[in-house]
Structure 1
Amino acid sequence: MDTTITRTPVQRLARYGYVPFMLLGLNGVAVALAAAGAPKYWLLLVLAVAVAASFLVERVIPYEAAWNHDQGDSRRDRIHAAVNETLILVSVAAIPLLAAIVPAPGIWPRSWPFLLQVMAAILIADLGITVVHLASHKIGGLWRFHAVHHSVTRFYGLNGLMKHPLHQTIEMAAGVAPLILIGLPVDVASALALAVAIQLLLQHSNADYRVGPAKYLLALNEGHRFHHLKWAGIGDVNFGLFTLIWDHLFRTFSYDPNRRFASEHLGMAAKPNYPKGYVDQLAYPFTTSGGCDTAPQPRDLAESEPIGRPAG
């Protein structure tokens, strides 16, 4: 049994309170601010609190203590995060311009309570992003760019935005474009953008938190680690960003409470020497060797199962 992270009241609070604080607390603040038409910089302050909370909790209840230490990737990941979060914010700022170019049919449910509008936007965006994410594992041209994200060999908050900006743009377009076409309001989009950032922090967190049965519905770190298993075919599961609803429907859901993860189980077996520098990762998908289509056949899951304490 795992008792190492429940020795103090602070650790117990972090273990069971971190996800509600992020999902309900900070997202709730963001929804309230957006509904009130508050200046957008207030949402950036909420994001800063989320990032700080992510790093703090990862040190209070780490899933793998070694993942809290720089592996020559911290600076690169900060650049990825800054660039890709800026792309998300730019996409929100561009909504009025896009709406002027492509007039919406006016079917967005503006009469609904603001919270329900945000939840509807999250579910629709989740479907679009999940479909592109799944396709990125099946179509070689998309995988070249998505492979940047799968080159990580440790799990921590900033990994969520460690993506090639071109792939990030494609994913966000798939999630947001349908919403814009039906008249997504800017304030709802702002709340959605922050929800995406918070979800990515939680999904890739090195915090050994617990959410109970909700792990079968919410796309959080317990399930997402399976998505990053390095062997070909094994990581083709749990594609959802916000929920696992679509994975259950697409039959791509997978979870084993007894499996334990370490750095040697993450990454890409077909590309163990994938470039680590930011500029190199931007350029690599365009090179002749940038494809990762020659991955080995799947290994037996039992062979990839590390011995260690249960995750549940």
Structure 2
Amino acid sequence: MNEIINYFSAIPYSHRAMILAGGIALFWLIESAVPFVRFRYNKWQHAGINIFFTITTIIVNFSLALVLLKTANWTTENNFGILNWLPDFNPWLFAIAGLLLLDLIGAYLAHLVEHKVKFLWRFHLIHHTDTYIDTTSGNRHHPGESVIRFIFTTFGVLLIGSPMWLVFLYQTLSVVATQFTHSNIVLPKKFDTLLSYFIVSPDMHKVHHHYVLPYTDSNYGNIFSVWDRLFGTFKTLDREKLIYGVDTHMKPEENNKLSNLLLIPFQKYRLPKT
């Protein structure tokens, strides 16, 4: 465990970039060879839009990184936060508890609130407009949403009392998990179901991208599936019934045009169907 702590305490930015790029490349190759859905689309044009949003997310997070670093250091130096108030225990259990809590506040809670608060939903909506879910879709977030997510992450670090190495570990696992659950692949059904009892599986997350309620408002988890099961937001849907997108933006000019996607938070749109 000490080796993991030491590595993530000072993980080079180049390593983080390689994990991001390497994950996309790996799942891109797999989904191209054995796709779950054979989309009739320009895969490179689609990827170009999503990679643009990936870059803006990186820029936002890099610009605000000092805030996150100072927050994590402050909690450690002042013995503040849930993890610091617990008695000393096994480092592995400490890491697991920290990852679960970061996933709860920085991912599950943030995601849930974005769906329930109309102003925040306007920014998160860009992610749901994608009608061709593949591994590049995982980072399709409006720059405004990237700021919103960063605020939740920072709040989570403060409340949890997470050291920076744990934040870096969580972010690394989160990147890979997001690429995995969005990738256009399919696992054997029984294995996917078994996996969904522990972590978010591809089938589980794809339900969240079904185009109508109540499925859109379900399966908010990022890495761990426990929070959806615990809070009653877990849903299933037959693979054959999946239709990606969101029913308010099903036209190509609405969901597959970069200039429109950037403006969606500021546009009027019809309410989704229930």
Which of these residues, 55, 79, 102, is aligned with residue 125 of structure 1?
102
Which of these residues, 213, 217, 221, is aligned with residue 232 of structure 1?
213
Moved more, 53-62 or 113-122: 113-122
Counterpart in the other structure of 1:59 = 32
- Name the SS of the counterpart of 1:73 in structure 2: helix
- C-alpha displacement at 1:90, in angstroms? 4.6
Letter in 1 for 2:257: G
Cα separation, 2, equivalents of 1:163 and 1:76: 10
Moved more, 176-185 or 44-53: 176-185
Which of these residues, 164, 181, 203, is aligned with residue 203 of structure 1?
181
Identity rate, percent:
21
List gaps (5 residues or longer) in structure 2. none
**Greater share of residues in helix:** 2
Runs (4+) off by over 6 Å? 100-103
The answer to whether structure 1 residue 245 and structure 2 residue 226 are counterparts is yes
TM-score normalised over the length of structure 1? 0.72
**Given that residues 127 and 175 in structure 1 are in contact (C-alpha distance below 8 angstroms), is that contact kept between their aligned partners in structure 2?**
no
Match runs of 1:62-73 below 5 Å = 62-66=35-39, 69-70=42-43, 72-73=45-46
Which of these residues, 19, 27, 32, is aligned with residue 46 of structure 1?
19
- Name the SS of the counterpart of 2:239 in structure 1: coil
Deviations 1:4-29 (A, max 9, x none): xxxxxxxxxxxxxxxxxxxxxxxx9x
Cα separation, 2, equivalents of 1:45 and 1:157: 16
The number of residues matched between the two structures is 263
**Given that residues 158 and 201 in structure 1 are in contact (C-alpha distance below 8 angstroms), is that contact kept between their aligned partners in structure 2?**
yes
- C-alpha displacement at 1:181, in angstroms? 4.5
Cα separation, 1, equivalents of 2:211 and 2:201: 19
- C-alpha displacement at 1:239, in angstroms? 1.0
Counterpart in the other structure of 2:49 = 76
**Given that residues 126 and 175 in structure 1 are in contact (C-alpha distance below 8 angstroms), is that contact kept between their aligned partners in structure 2?**
no
**Given that residues 106 and 183 in structure 1 are in contact (C-alpha distance below 8 angstroms), is that contact kept between their aligned partners in structure 2?**
yes
Letter in 2 for 1:201: Q
Letter in 2 for 1:277: K
45 and 118 in structure 1: CA distance in 2 versus 1, 3 angstrom threshold = farther
149 and 222 in structure 1: CA distance in 2 versus 1, 3 angstrom threshold = same
Letter in 1 for 2:54: A
Cα separation, 2, equivalents of 1:254 and 1:99: 34
Cα separation, 1, equivalents of 2:184 and 2:47: 14
Counterpart in the other structure of 1:149 = 127
Cα separation, 2, equivalents of 1:32 and 1:138: 36
Match runs of 1:177-192 below 5 Å = 177-192=155-170
TM-score normalised over the length of structure 2? 0.81
**Given that residues 225 and 261 in structure 1 are in contact (C-alpha distance below 8 angstroms), is that contact kept between their aligned partners in structure 2?**
no
Deviations 1:217-272 (A, max 9, x none): 3212111111111123332211111122111122111124x43256xx11122232
List gaps (5 residues or longer) in structure 1. 1-27, 298-312
**Given that residues 124 and 175 in structure 1 are in contact (C-alpha distance below 8 angstroms), is that contact kept between their aligned partners in structure 2?**
no
- C-alpha displacement at 1:203, in angstroms? 1.4
- C-alpha displacement at 1:100, in angstroms? 6.9
- Name the SS of the counterpart of 1:232 in structure 2: coil
**Given that residues 35 and 114 in structure 1 are in contact (C-alpha distance below 8 angstroms), is that contact kept between their aligned partners in structure 2?**
no
**Given that residues 67 and 155 in structure 1 are in contact (C-alpha distance below 8 angstroms), is that contact kept between their aligned partners in structure 2?**
no
**Given that residues 30 and 185 in structure 2 are in contact (C-alpha distance below 8 angstroms), is that contact kept between their aligned partners in structure 1?**
yes
- C-alpha displacement at 1:205, in angstroms? 0.9
**Given that residues 34 and 191 in structure 1 are in contact (C-alpha distance below 8 angstroms), is that contact kept between their aligned partners in structure 2?**
no
Q: Root-mean-square deviation (CA), in Å?
A: 3.0
The answer to whether structure 1 residue 283 and structure 2 residue 256 are counterparts is no
